[in-house]
Structure 1
Amino acid sequence: MTGRKLILSLFLSAALAACSDSGQKPAGSGAAGGAPQRPPQPVSVVTMKKSEQPITAVLPGRAAPFQIADIRPRVTGEIKQIAFKQGNEVKAGDLLYKIEDSTYAAEVAQAKATVSKAEASIPSAQANLSRYERLVNSGATQIEYESARVTLLQAQADVAQANAALNAAQINLDLTEIRAPFDGVTSISNVSIGNIVTANQTTALTTLRRLDPIYIDLIDSSTNLLELRSAMASGRLSGDPRKADIRLTLEDGTDYPLTGKLDMADMAVSETTGTYQIRALFDNPRDMILPGTYVRATVTLGNETGYLIPQRAATRNARGELSAKFVTADGKVETRIFPTSGVSGNNWLVTQGVTDSDRLVVDGFQWIADGATVQPVEATVDDKGFVVEATKPAAAKP
């Protein structure tokens, strides 16, 4: 029993000694006994400068042919010849199809014979009328004279009628040759040699499309239309949108090398989608753009003076307002809200809430809270949206 008491006494003595040693241990070198302070986090910033910039809109679009025609026969007959190579270009007036014309040629010959027969009665009717003109006062009655005059008029009418029939027969004969109404590219032929076609049938023989120039049909919202008109009315936007330059980005992401112009805009907004259509015209000399191709069009609406905020440096809040982070004069981060903004290329353009020399955070702002102390590092943003830090000057050699 005594041994157990001795062991317990020794254990308590050791514990008290340990506690005494812990209380006498000197404090560490950290500030106020805590962890050492972290240095300010470096962030890339762009110095803001007011300037006049183009206001642009990126709109979805689809190509449509400048001219399009479904080629149909206007007379009935058998296809005797297909004179074009399917899918190739043809010129206005080029022969596309030839319809069997023997029946129509016979009708022309018959009509010519009818004209000749009608013309043959004119001289005798004219001579008969002249004789009664001389005799009307010396024995011939007025009735006989009027009858001779009517006979001549009837003969002349018969000639006119015969000529009209001849013209109709000649037209039908000419229509057996189906020719291109304008320069364009043909589609696949829907008929073959030997097929019977009928006048004005519903099925087209082929479709002809003119691709140079070519239309681009663009879609924009009525909201953007109202904002554009408001900007023009207030004088903020300079330039005439009707003379805007339009550039295209093709489906594979490449830029189309030629610039287009506005051709027309619908004067009505769709009741179902709330959008309206804009039609642009582009030269297409190499047929690079084909009908039905989807594109993105960048439309330069005019110029406005303001500050550029790269799209990578901004976000939208729950109300859809543009927001961006800036570094204050004392090196702290703050968020600014811009209720109104425009688009200028790959940037937002704002006119309020920024002054010259303000420093915009362009990289890493997603993980920086307002009020945090940071170390600004001057940078630029290239055309593709990448941040490029400014080159520091080389240190002088001793």
Structure 2
Amino acid sequence: MLLRQAAPVRFALPALCLALAACGSDTAAEKGGRGQAGTPEVGYVVVQPTAVPLVTELGARTAAFQTSEVRPQVSGLIRRRLFTEGSIVKKGQTLYEIDPRLYAASAAEARASLNSAAANAEATRVRAERFKPLAAIEAVAQQDYTDAAAQARQAAAAVAQSRAQLDTAQINLRFTKVPAPITGRIGRSLSTEGALVTAGQTDPLTTISRLDPMFVDIQQSSADLLKLRRALAAGGVAPSSAAVRLKLEDGSDYGQTGTVQFTEVMVNESTGTVTLRARFPNPQGLLLPGMFVRAVFAQSVDTSAFLVPQAAVKRDPKGATTVLIVGPDNKAIERPVTATRVVGANWVITGGLKAGDKVITEGTARAKAGQPVKPVVAGSAQKFNTAPAKGDKTQPTKG
């Protein structure tokens, strides 16, 4: 009986030892898998200074390219209105007709006066010419010839005076037809037929506006303009002639682009702003005078900025921005930078980087400042250790 019971114990001990050895080897393998984690692989880009437009978005108001207030130049009653309100009128087109009868009579009177003066001038001229040879032979007194010549010159002057009066009367007669001074869209009529108008009155009869092209008056603070001029004077920033784009009141983009025409030299004392005037084509008449718009344009170009992908830039709770770069011995180095704005998918970095720096853009979550990294060019296939440790494999047990 004793021999039969000892035999199983003798065979069970080696099996137990093998099982413990296997467990120990699996534990060691698990520890070795975790301890032998590889250096993190990161992707980098080599940054170089580039020209970046300094885009500005400012509020603006639209203004008509030309505006003309139509006023009468003679007094009288309006007989007819010869245009349709809100339509396009051409330069020189008759808009109103003022009663011309009084001015026609004045023109006729001036013409008659001219004819009378011309007849008198002819008579005095002939008389002076007759006296001239008689005075030479002393057949008449020299004083008589002198008086005749003076009368002839006076008569000629009276003819010129009468002709000027006739011209004035004819001009006033033409002014009874009020023309359009410019081509454009005419507004509503402020005077009706039968209304009495006077020369030089304050209120216009109507207003004409030329809406194609259109002016856009952009308001920029004098402080920003001063900052821009100092940057241009210091170098590193170049003036830009980029086109101006508009955002309309509903937030949509205006399809046409314009150009800045000039900048005023006076600062508005009440607002502290300077006006920049841009010119835009307006073939469809979408822009109307007085609309509020947003102007987007580049006043200058930063020639020494760096474009860094947004994923590479980190911002702490205090607002400071940093990037990781590949330093000596392939160690990650944290570098504070100055990130001013976003252009597309990149941050514009104006300080903290130099040409040739290798900025880490991929794998930033695995890279730690001061620790080694395995740098590869950004966009290369990243290698990840996804194989489970040996200790994590489940071995089937046999019953």
TM-score (norm 2): 0.71
**Number of the residue aligned with 2:289:** 291
Instruction: Supply the distance in 1 between the matched residues of 2:77 and 2:140 (Cα, whole angstroms).
Output: 60
Which residue in the other structure is 2:256 paired with? 258
Structure 2 SS opposite 1:230: helix
**How do 1:81-120 and structure 2 match up within 5 A?**
81-120=80-119
The equivalent of 1:33 in structure 2 is none
Q: CA deviation at 1:194?
A: 1.2
Give the whole-Å Cα distance in 1 for the aligned partners of 2:289 and 2:344.
Answer: 27
**What does residue 222 of structure 2 align with?**
222
Match of 1:279 in 2: 277
- Return the offset for 1:357: 4.2
Tell me, yes or no, if the aligned pair for 2:337 and 2:349 is still in contact at 8 Å.
no
For residue 76 of structure 1, report the CA deviation from its aligned partner.
0.7
Amino acid paired to 1:76: S
Give the match's secondary structure for 1:217.
Answer: strand
Distance 1:277 1:317, change over 3 A: farther
Secondary structure, in 3 states, of the residue corresponding to 1:253? Answer: coil
From the superposition, tell whether residues 150 and 46 of structure 1 become closer, same or farther in structure 2 (CA, over 3 Å): farther
What CA deviation, in whole Å up to 9, does each residue of 1:186-208 have, x standing for no partner?
A: 11111111111111111111011
The answer to whether the Cα contact below 8 Å between 1:65 and 1:209 also exists between their aligned partners in 2 is: yes
Classify 1:135/1:305 alpha carbon distance in 2 versus 1 (closer, same or farther; 3 Å): same
Q: For residue 169 of structure 1, what is the aligned residue in structure 2?
A: 169
| CA deviations over 1:20-68 (Å, ceiling 9, x no partner) | xxxxxxxxxxxxxxxxxxxxxxxxx996844332221111110011111
Deviations 1:266-306 (A, max 9, x none): 11223333321111111111111110011111122233332
Letter in structure 1 aligned against 2:321:
A
CA distances 1:351-375 after superposition (whole Å, capped 9, x unpaired): 21246443579xxx9xxxx99x9xx
Q: Partners of 2:145 and 2:79 in 1: how far apart?
A: 56
Answer yes or no: is 1:57 the counterpart of 2:56.
Answer: yes
Instruction: Using the TM superposition, give the Cα deviation of residue 327 of structure 1 relative to its aligned residue in structure 2, in angstroms.
Output: 5.4
Larger deviation: 327-336 or 264-273?
327-336
Write the distance in 1 (CA, Å) between the matches of 2:314 and 2:189: 54
Check conservation: 1:56, 1:343, Cα contact below 8 A. Answer: no
**Structure possessing the higher radius of gyration over alpha carbons:** 2
SS of equivalent to 1:272: coil
Change (3 A) 1:315 1:89: farther
Deviations 1:84-106 (CA, angstroms, capped at 9, x unpaired): 11111111111111111111111
What is the alpha-carbon distance in structure 1 between the residues aligned to residue 299 and residue 188 of structure 2? 40
Aligned pair 1:270/2:268, yes or no? yes
Output one character per residue of 1:2-34: Cα deviation in whole Å (capped at 9) or x when no partner: xxxxxxxxxxxxxxxxxxxxxxxxxxxxxxxxx
What amino acid is aligned across from residue 297 of structure 2 in structure 1? V
What number of residue pairs does the alignment pair up? 322
User: What's the offset of the Cα at 1:234?
Assistant: 3.0
Distance 1:305-1:345 versus aligned 2 partners, 3 A rule: farther
Moved more, 48-57 or 255-264: 48-57
1:249 alignment partner, one of 247, 250, 253? 247
Letter in 1 for 2:113: T
Post-superposition shift, 1:245?
1.6
In structure 2, the partner of 1:131 is: 130
Closer/same/farther in 2, CA of residues 392 and 96 from structure 1, 3 Å limit: farther
- Taking a change above 3 Å as real, the CA distance of residues 228 and 316 of structure 1, as seen in their structure-2 partners, is farther
> Conserved in 2, the CA contact under 8 Å of 1:325 and 1:333?
no
Q: Which residue of 2 aligns with 1:212?
A: 212
Give the Å deviation of 1:140. 1.0
Report the 3-state secondary structure (helix = DSSP H, G, I; strand = E; otherwise coil) of the residue aligned with 1:358: strand
Determine if contact 1:186/1:209 at 8 Å carries over to the other structure: yes
Counterpart code for 1:111 = A
- CA–CA distance in 2 between the matches of 1:247 and 1:130? 78
Partner AA of 1:86 in structure 2: E
Q: Deviations for 1:156-187, whole angstroms, at most 9, x for unmatched residues?
A: 11111111110110111111111111111111
1:134–1:346 CA distance, 2 compared to 1 (3 A): farther
- TM-align CA RMSD: 3.6
AA aligned to 1:271 is E
Residue aligning to 1:232: 232
Contact 2:53–2:300 (CA<8 Å) still a contact in 1? Answer: yes
TM-score, normalising length: structure 1: 0.71
Amino acid at match of 1:285: P
Distance 2:333 2:316 in 1: 18
Structure 1 residue runs of 5 or longer lacking an equivalent are 1-44, 374-379, 381-389
Q: Secondary structure at the match of 2:143?
A: helix
Q: Distance in 1 between matches of 2:106 and 2:314?
A: 78
Q: CA deviation at 1:316?
A: 11
Amino acid at match of 1:186: I
Alpha-carbon deviation of 1:216? 0.6
Show the counterpart of 1:352. Answer: 351
- Is the 8 Å Cα contact of residues 86 and 187 (structure 2) preserved in structure 1? yes
Per-residue CA deviations over 1:201-223 (Å, capped at 9, x if unaligned) read 11111011111111110111222
Q: 2:321 and 2:97 mapped to 1: Cα distance? A: 69
